[in-house]
Amino acid sequence: MEYRPLGTLGFDGSVLIYGAASLGEVDQDTADRSIQQALDAGINHFDTAAGYGESELRLGPWMPQIRDRIFLATKTGDRNAEAAWASINRSLERLQTDQVDLIQLHAVCDFDDLDRCTEKGGSLEAAVRAQEEGLAKAVGITGHGHEAPDVHREALRRFDFRALLTPWSYVLSQRAPFADSYRALAADCEAKEVALRLIKTVARRNWPEPDAEHPYATWYEPIDDDAQIRAAVSWALAQPIACGLATPGDVGLLGAVVAAEADRQTVPDAEAVLAAVPDLSSPFINAPI
């Protein structure tokens, strides 16, 4: 497993970030097997959220034995300070810890949402309070959708966020406006030493039939062919500035992503594979979220 510095956060994180959305709807035994699989692979960066179902509760029992050797991040999806403050404290209780390494404003996807978070009485005030009172070491922001890079650039102008989770993948790099915005965001992160982490790198497309029963817990259809996963992971981890990528939100996909990280291919070879994936498209087209 490769490790990279997380900006100015003082931690070398695994390039695979355990996407604990995968634990939202599983029982504790399933969660335990997946968490152990991640630890055995060398993953030391775990990312969860108040809104990920039972995820924080599934991670909590592990904290007494692993808290001092992992980077732990969670998120609040609330938009006002009072609700976000309650959410942050509830997350700490569920995670069985008195401090997280990173508290993030969750799913800030458009400018109206950013305004709600950063206005007087917005959730950013609660995140800053959490940092000032020692409940979190740093404050970050996350988001998805085609506006995300521009929204996150503006977020960095308004506040000194120390970490981002933003979408970037081969297929998104083929969308000219989005790609230009992402590259500008990456340049901003480099200049400000912000930890830039990637999401949706192993997404194939939005589910063609969103209301049908699906074989994975992800809200989008993931890439699930081993060779294609290898290409997607190889491509993403070769991107300049990126600290790493979040694993997909289904425990069944973790093994293939871990294997892909350990056996990466060149960018040209990865692009050749990904260019041939049928129906590869942005997961944000008609997204259900």
- Report, as residue numbers or ranges, the catalytic residues: 52
b/e map of 144-156 (b: 16 or more CB within 10 Å)?
Answer: bbbbbbbbbbbbb
Which of 8, 13, 21, 20 shows the shortest CA–CA distance to 261?
A: 13
94 and 56 Cβ atoms separated by less than 8 Å: yes
- Interhelix angle 267-275/226-237, rounded to 10 degrees, is 130
Q: Give the Cα separation of 117 and 244 in Å (integer).
A: 26
Q: Is 279 exposed, middle or buried (0-12, 13-18, 19+ CB in 10 A)?
A: exposed
246 and 218 Cβ atoms separated by less than 8 Å: no
Tokens of 64: 């007494």
List Cα–Cα distances, 247 to 38, 118, 190, 202, 259, in angstroms: 10, 29, 23, 8, 12
Alpha helices in the chain (DSSP H): 28-41, 55-59, 63-66, 81-95, 111-118, 123-132, 148-158, 170-173, 176-192, 226-237, 254-262, 267-275
Q: What angle do CA 43, 174, 279 make, to 5 degrees?
A: 80
31 and 159 Cβ atoms separated by less than 8 Å: no
